[in-house]
C-alpha cells in the first residue's frame, strides 16, 4: 500500500512539473464565459434577414406616433431609423409594444432596437446598451391651463399621472421630498391617456418628457400649461441588447455620418424647426 502511495506521489510530482498538479491552493484559470467566447454576429444576423425591427410606443409624438387619417407611424425617430436602415442596406419595421415591457421585448428577441425617445438611465444600462445620446430631454410637469400649481412643492397631496415604465417615475422618485409629498401617482399605458385625464380634471398634473409634452401643448395651448419647475435633465439614446455590440456600432456609425453630412439636421428641422441633435 505504501509503495503504491509513493508511486502515485512521484507520478503527481512529475506531472506537476509539466502541467501543475491540482492542489487546493493552486489558482485555476476561470472558465470562459460562453457569451464572451461566442462571436458577435448581431450585424450579420440583421444583414441576413434584411431588416431590423424597431420597438416603440406609437403614441409618443413627435418621436413616433400614428398620423391622423393615414394611421401610418411617423415621427422624428422614425425618420432617423429609416435613414439608418437605408445606409445599412436593409429595411426597417416598426413594432408597437407596451412601453412598460419594452426591454423584455428587446431581450426576448421580439424587436432588435428600442428607438423612441428612450431615456438613458443607470437602471436601463444594467440591462441593455445604448447608442451615443442624440437628444437632450427633461421631465416637465404639465398642468391645466390657469392652474395654480407652479412648483414641485405645489404638488403636495395632489394626484399626478405618468406613463408606466417611463423615466418619469424614476425622475419623480429621485426627488425624495416631492415623491413623499404626493397624494397619489397614477400610471398610464401612454402619455396621451394621462394628458386626456388631466384635461378631464381627473388628475392635477402629468409628468412627461419635455419634447412630448411641449408637442401636446402646442396642439392644445388653451388646455395645458407647464409648471415653472421640472424633474431634471435627461438624454435620449437608441437601446440594443448587450450582446449586439456590432449592430449598435454600425448604427452609431451611420448616425455619426448623418450628423456630419447634415442629414440629421434636416430631419430635426422638419420636426422641431431647428437642429437640436446633439
Share of the chain above pLDDT 70, in %: 86
Exposure b/e, 56-74, CB count within 10 A at least 16 = b: bbbbbbbbbbeeeeeeebb
The pLDDT of residue 15 is above 90: no
- pLDDT band with cut points at 50, 70 and 90 for residue 217: confident
The pLDDT value recorded for residue 33 is 46
At residue 273 the predicted structure's pLDDT band, cuts being 50, 70 and 90, is confident
Mean pLDDT over 142-163 rounds to: 97
Q: What's the confidence (pLDDT) of residue 10?
A: 38
> Does the pLDDT at position 155 exceed 70?
yes
Per-residue pLDDT for 16 more than 70?
no
Q: Which CATH number is correct for 38-134+237-272, 3.20.20.150, 1.10.10.10, 1.10.510.10, 3.40.190.10?
A: 3.40.190.10
Question: Lowest-confidence range among 12-16, 93-97, 103-107, 231-235?
Answer: 12-16
Q: pTM for this one?
A: 0.76
The band of 219, judged by pLDDT with boundaries at 50, 70 and 90, is confident
C-beta separation of 187 from 162 below 8 A: yes
Residues 57-91: pLDDT tens digits? 999 999 999 999 999 999 999 999 999 999 999 99
Higher per-residue pLDDT: 24 or 65: 65
- 3.40.190.10, 3.40.50.2000, 3.30.420.40, 3.30.300.30: CATH of 138-233: 3.40.190.10
pLDDT of residue 24: 36
Return mean pLDDT, the chain.
Answer: 88
pLDDT on residue 194: 96
Residues of the chain with CATH 3.40.190.10: 38-134+237-272, 138-233
**pLDDT of 97 strictly over 80:** yes
Which of 31-35, 65-69, 142-146, 186-190 has the least mean pLDDT?
31-35
Per-residue pLDDT tens digits for 104-140: 999 999 999 999 999 999 999 999 999 999 999 999 9
pLDDT at residue 38 in the model: 57
pLDDT at residue 9 tops 50: no
Amino acid at each position: 500500500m505504501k509503495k503504491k502511495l509513493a508511486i502515485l506521489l512521484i507520478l503527481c510530482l512529475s506531472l506537476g512539473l509539466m502541467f501543475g498538479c491540482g492542489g487546493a491552493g493552486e489558482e485555476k484559470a476561470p472558465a470562459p464565459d460562453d457569451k464572451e467566447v461566442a462571436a458577435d454576429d448581431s450585424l450579420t444576423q440583421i444583414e441576413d434577414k434584411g431588416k431590423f425591427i424597431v420597438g416603440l410606443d406609437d403614441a409618443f409624438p413627435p418621436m413616433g406616433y400614428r398620423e391622423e387619417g393615414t394611421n401610418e407611424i411617423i415621427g422624428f425617430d422614425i425618420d432617423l431609423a429609416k435613414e439608418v436602415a437605408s445606409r445599412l442596406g436593409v429595411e426597417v419595421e416598426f413594432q408597437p409594444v407596451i412601453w412598460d415591457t419594452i426591454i423584455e421585448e428587446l431581450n426576448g428577441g421580439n424587436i432588435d432596437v428600442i428607438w423612441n425617445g428612450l431615456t438613458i438611465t443607470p437602471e436601463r444600462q444594467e440591462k441593455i446598451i445604448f447608442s451615443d445620446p442624440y437628444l437632450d430631454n427633461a421631465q416637465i410637469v404639465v398642468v391645466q391651463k390657469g392652474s395654480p400649481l407652479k412648483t414641485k412643492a405645489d404638488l403636495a397631496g395632489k394626484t399626478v399621472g405618468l406613463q408606466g415604465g417611463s423615466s418619469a417615475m424614476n425622475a419623480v422618485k429621485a426627488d425624495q421630498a416631492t415623491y413623499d409629498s404626493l397624494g397619489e401617482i397614477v400610471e398610464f399605458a401612454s402619455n396621451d391617456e394621462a394628458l386626456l385625464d388631466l384635461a378631464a380634471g381627473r388628475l392635477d398634473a402629468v409628468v412627461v418628457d419635455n419634447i412630448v409634452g411641449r408637442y401636446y401643448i402646442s396642439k392644445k395651448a388653451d388646455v395645458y400649461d407647464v409648471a415653472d419647475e421640472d424633474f431634471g435633465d435627461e438624454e435620449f439614446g437608441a437601446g440594443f441588447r448587450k450582446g449586439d455590440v456590432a449592430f449598435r456600432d454600425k448604427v452609431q456609425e451611420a448616425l455619426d455620418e448623418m450628423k456630419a453630412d447634415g442629414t440629421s439636421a434636416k430631419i430635426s428641422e422638419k420636426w422641431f424647426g431647428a437642429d437640436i441633435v446633439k
